Structure 1
Amino acid sequence: MSSSTKMKKPIINVKAKTLLYPFLLFSAIIITLFTELAAAPQQLFKGFTASPNPTTPNFQPLLSDSTGNFSLTFLRVNQDQLALAVLHVPSGESLWQANFTEPTQWDKHTQLIFNGSIVVTNHHSRVVWSTNTDGDLVVLAGSSNLQILKGEKSPSVLWQSFESPSDTLLENQNFTSTMSLISMNGLYTMRLGPDFIGLYAKFKSLGSGSDQIYYRHRAMQAKANIIIGHGPILARISSDGFMGLYQNGSTPVDIESFNSYQRSVPGPRRVRLENDGNLKGYYWSSSSWVLDYEAISETCELPSACGLYGLCRPGFGCSCLDNRTLAKVDQCYQTQEIKDLCEESTNKKNKISEIRRIGVELPYKELMSYIEMTSFEECEKSCKQNCTCWGVLYNNGSKFCYNVDYPIQTILEVVGHESKMGYFKMWEGGKKKRDERLGIGIGLLSGAIIVLGLVIGFGVYKFWKRNKMVNNHNSILEKEDINAPGPYKDLRSSSFGSVELSNR
């Protein structure tokens, strides 16, 4: 066959290939995922065991609901750790996670067993989580509720994930006074009071008392009244787009409306306690989770929007109580460096410094206890003499003195309110650590500048040496009257000096 009749190869545009490869990779991942989900059983019986697959990048399905929208999975966390989770498959969002007693590795020695209980053991063969039941099978309902059932003809529910929520409350899931939502970072909790929904923060050290409440929504009791002693209240998300509080009946004693109130939406609804302490509501739009509700709408009203010893000014963002600028959250003070002031005050090696500010207050002062005092000096003195006090905030108008008995979180800046003052204690170890990091950063920058200087200097030296060699070479050529052969001649020679370019 002649070269002219050979079939030409199709030319593929390079840009098209670049765009095609990610698409093919994504398609392969989706196909693999749905293949695994299709292979996942819809019931688990006694004797079922599973271990994580080391090649699985994100999550490994173990059990699927009948619709394929939800899956019980091994979920990979922080690359090498494992969680047992119920996922919303279309989005890959975790709706529930088992509360392990210790971090568990993603390796072949970690195992899930169903022997009447769902049991997870780690690589040391220690039980890190168990349902402590004696059931016959495990199912995942279409509502994402993981259940352990007992019996065959009319099975009873022995255990269900809807009664042990993690950070999320699902549509039509009853949330009672015996339950709590806990943010994934473990800092914030949602609980029910006798007539309210409360959000709490673990700002206090262990053993120092209850958590600090920073948000409270009381029931309006517009359509029905709460009768104390007639049973606890419960919260439930309605498909009509609200979170209702109920007591012994179907009529809500309170309604917290979402943005989509009384509008139908394509997918399920949920609320989640976020890692910043806010409670947010979402609905599934068939392609993404749409934000539908926020308990706290202003950033500066969050419990620790700017981190430890941060200062939040509405509309302007974060800075530090000690006047240092703040680029990122948690840059004013290192969380892991917080110490007990009662212990540190007796240690002469460590110093506790003081900060005073005017025009400041707590974002949730209405929920804090206070003592009336005649002056800011009196309020400050009460804190100075108390090693459990980290700071006080004083209102010169109301004469209220608010005592902060935990490490100082974000303080709210109120411009033009000089009558609102604050006094705060800071353990110097945290500042020293930060200053050391600053010194290290300066040292690294200086080192980089020195290295850059050496590189530039070396380059200049090489350039100078090369020029010197060329000049010496040209000098030798001139002395010996040596010209390059052919068209490449020494352009400085006399034979080329008289050549002129002309237009012809």
Structure 2
Amino acid sequence: MELKICERFPWPLLKVGTALKSASYSLHPAMDGLVNSVPRMRATHLLLFATYILFVSKWTNILPGATAERLLQGFKATPDPTESSFQTLLTDPTGNFSLSFLRVNKTQLALAVLHVPSSDPLWLANPTELASWSETTQFFFNGSLVISDPTSRVFWSTQTEGDFVVLLESSNLQIQMLADAPKVLWQSFDFPSDTLVENQNLTANQSLMSSNGIYFMRLGYDFWGLYANFGGKTDQIYLKHTALEARAEIVLGQPPIYAHVNPEGYLGMYQNGSKPVDVAAFNSFQRSVNGFLRLRLEQDGNLRAYLWDGSSWVLNYQAISDSCQLPSPCRSYGLCRPGYGCSCLDNGTEFRSGEDCFSVETGDFCDENVVGDNFWVLSRTGLELPFKELMQYEPTTTKEECELLCENNCTCWGAVFNNASGFCYTVDYPIQTLVAIGDQTKIGYFKVRPVAGKKKRNAGTAVGYAVGAVAAVALIGVVGLWAYRTWRKKIQEEDGEVSPGPYKNLGAASFKSIEMSNTQ
């Protein structure tokens, strides 16, 4: 922080000093003469003034260009190097939310709206590109909110011409312009990051993005869906919640639907009016529960709602209850076994939590600079895609036909063939987690880059390779010895040293005597 001033108390310092001096007199009536002496009065005023300054400094910290509940033009702040978690810049009237510098990974800075009791972020200004937590980073309001580093560049700006900034009791950060009535020029609710709070809308022009940048929540014509960006041609949808239209009907040609977190405990889809066309009920739905609601798209791709009960966040809803149905719970080339956890698709790679079974490179197999076989094939039975009903497929008659479809398509990373239906599901992004099932008629065909196949092997596989190598060496030795003896015998026969006939034990005493007698 550059400067700290005190503006919360409207009364002048002189009045405060006079009031406190009067209180001092009433406490010490017998010492009026001493107190009224000039040196004593100066010392008392100095002491009272110092006490007031210390008291107010502890009570509030306000920056230039700021008041207790708004930021004015001229506001400027830099990160405090002594802060380890977050640094408050502005609070809402209730004190439940704050606009703060949030420290990320010790060295980075995010501008965030925090839920103060839990210190959890509800909104981030620029989640994909963070500034550094250093004295060169500046945050200021000049009509626009701006995060910049004068030595490098501007990281984020609202690009507005407003008069002041306020943080509402809903946690909505707004830039307003003075007029007959305050006019909202910009608000954080229009630019959600990974979270929706109660009474916040999600429109067709907006989306939620998980903090790792992989998963998204978007609205369609009559549904909200969850999507994953695994590096394919398009984002893959892995959950689709279609409106049941039980309470109202979606009208074609009317404004598009929007989603809304209702304080009564549900995520509703609306088109016009107050009646939802669909309700995704939370656990607190139709229960008299007091608390603050938030809906967050998590790093594992699940959509979860939480209720703040006054001391902690309580899980209130999750869109996907089975962990194996998440988009990639065991990461790349992993296999999820319901009730048993994760393993790797092949039997020779050790699974480690938080790691891919095979290293995944970006791009596909269409690079013209790569010739020949730039992948090896991993096949396995008894598995399926976790969200196959939302994936593209083609009817085929044999697994060979299905595999050929993927083999000849340079954007295809794999395929799963259903021998019963003949459906061939193709995957146009690096292979993620598959689900293990008992049906052996479902067969997977997966491309793996050569560099990926050299990643790591488990101890059992390493021992197997070692035993195989020793056996190979032993076999070569035996064959070599046999060949040498055969060759030696042939030479001896050609030189007359050994006459043809039945096998003889060259170590027997009788043969030695005969051999000696023939040489005399």
Conservation of the 8 A alpha-carbon contact between 1:305 and 1:329: no
2:358 pairs with 1:333: yes
* Superposed CA offset, 1:347-381 (max 9, x none): 46x84111111111100000011110011110001
Structure 2: 5+ residue stretches without partners:
1-55, 63-67, 464-520
Q: CA deviation at 1:263?
A: 1.7
1:146 is the counterpart of 2:170: no
Counterpart pick for 2:397 among 374, 396, 399: 374
Whole-angstrom distance in 2 between the partners of 1:73 and 1:249: 36
The answer as to 2:263 corresponding to 1:199 is no
Compute the displacement of 1:339 (Å): 4.6
Contact 1:244–1:256, Cα closer than 8 Å, also in 2: yes
Cα displacement (A) at 1:338: 4.1
- Tell me the secondary structure at the aligned position of residue 367 of structure 2: helix
- Counterpart of 1:322 (choices 342, 346, 352) is 346
Distance in 2, Cα, partners of 1:123 & 1:320: 48
What is the rounded CA distance, in whole Å, between the counterparts of 1:189 and 1:94 in structure 2? 18
Query: What is the CA–CA distance in structure 2 between the aligned matches of 1:100 and 1:361, rounded to whole Å?
Result: 34
Contact 2:91 2:167 in 1 (8 A): yes
- Aligned partners of 1:148 and 1:36: how far apart in 2? 28
Q: Which residue in 1 is equivalent to 2:252?
A: 228
Q: Is 1:54 the equivalent of 2:77?
A: no
Residue 410 (structure 1) aligns with = 433
Alpha-carbon separation, structure 2, partners of 1:56 and 1:409: 39
**TM-score, length-normalised on structure 2?**
0.74
Aligned counterpart in structure 2 of residue 419 of structure 1, from 437, 441, 465: 441
Change (3 A) 1:36 1:225: farther
Q: How does 1:155-304 map to 2 (within 5 A)?
A: 155-205=182-232, 208=233, 210-304=234-328
Following the alignment from structure 1 to structure 2, what is the Cα–Cα distance between the partners of residues 237 and 341? Answer: 43
For the residues of structure 2 that align with 1:260 and 1:252, how far apart are their CA atoms? 17
Look up the match of 2:454.
Answer: 432
Contact 1:138-1:147 at 8 Å conserved across structures: yes
* Per-residue deviation, residues 2-23 of structure 1 (Å, max 9, x unmatched): xxxxxxxxxxxxxxxxxxxxxx
Contact 2:293 2:308 in 1 (8 A): yes
The residue correspondences of 1:393-404 to structure 2 (distance < 5 A) are 393-404=416-427
- Cα deviation for residue 122 of structure 1 reads 2.6
Hey, what's the Cα distance between the residues in 2 that align with 1:419 and 1:164? Answer: 47
- Specify the alignment match of 2:116 in structure 1: 89
Counterpart Cα distance in 2 of 1:215 and 1:342: 29
Once the two structures are TM-superposed, the CA of residue 102 in structure 1 deviates from its matched residue by 3.1
CA distance change for structure 1 residues 200 and 37 in 2, over 3 Å: closer, same or farther? farther
- 2:201 partner SS: coil
Q: Secondary structure at the match of 1:407?
A: coil
Q: Deviations over 1:46-68 (max 9, x none)?
A: 01010101111000001110111
1:353-502 residue pairs with structure 2 within 5 A? 353-415=376-438, 417-434=439-456
Contact 1:37 1:68 in 2 (8 A): no
- Give distance in 1, aligned partners of 2:230 and 2:374: 22
Contact 1:182 1:188 in 2 (8 A): yes
Contact 1:37/1:61 (CA < 8 Å) preserved in 2?
Answer: no
Give the count of matched residue pairs.
Answer: 400
The root-mean-square deviation of aligned C-alpha atoms, in Å, is: 2.2
Deviation at 1:136, TM superposition (A): 0.4
Secondary structure of the residue aligned to 2:404 is helix
Go from structure 1 to structure 2 and tell me whether the alpha carbon gap of 1:356 and 1:101 turns closer, same or farther (over 3 Å shift). closer
The amino acid across from 2:430 in the alignment is P
For residues 258-311 of structure 1, the C-alpha deviation after alignment (integer angstroms, 9 at most, x for no partner) is 111112333210100000000000010100000000000000000000000000
Q: How far apart are the structure 2 equivalents of 1:37 and 1:378?
A: 74
CA contact (8 A) 2:375 2:449 kept: yes
Q: CA–CA distance in 1 between the matches of 2:177 and 2:451?
A: 56
Are residues 38 and 89 of structure 1, via their aligned partners in 2, closer, same or farther at CA, if it must alter by over 3 Å?
farther
Given that residues 145 and 158 in structure 2 are in contact (C-alpha distance below 8 angstroms), is that contact kept between their aligned partners in structure 1? Answer: yes
3-state secondary structure, aligned to 2:400: helix
Please state how far the C-alpha of 1:39 moved relative to its aligned partner: 2.8
Q: By how many angstroms is 1:345 displaced?
A: 8.0
**CA contact 2:113–2:122 (8 Å) conserved in 1:** yes
Change (3 A) 1:423 1:147: same
Work out whether residues 128 and 213 of structure 2, in 8 Å CA contact, stay in contact via their aligned partners in 1. Answer: no
User: Are positions 1:309 and 2:336 aligned together?
Assistant: no
Letter in 2 for 1:121: S
Match of 1:103 among 107, 111, 130: 130
> 1:385 Cα deviation (Å)?
1.2
Indicate conservation of the 8 Å contact 2:231/2:363, yes or no: no
Cα separation, partners in 2 of 1:345 and 1:278, compared to 1, 3 Å: farther
Where 1:379 maps in the other structure, the secondary structure is helix
Equivalent AA in structure 2 for residue 147 of structure 1: Q
Q: Unaligned stretches of 5+ in structure 1?
A: 1-33, 443-504
Give the superposition deviation at 1:329.
3.2
CA contact (8 A) 1:175 1:236 kept: yes
Structure-1 residue corresponding to 2:7: none
SS of the residue corresponding to residue 341 of structure 1 reads coil
For the pair shown, the structure with the greater C-alpha radius of gyration is 2
Mapped partners of 2:167, 2:294: distance in 1: 17
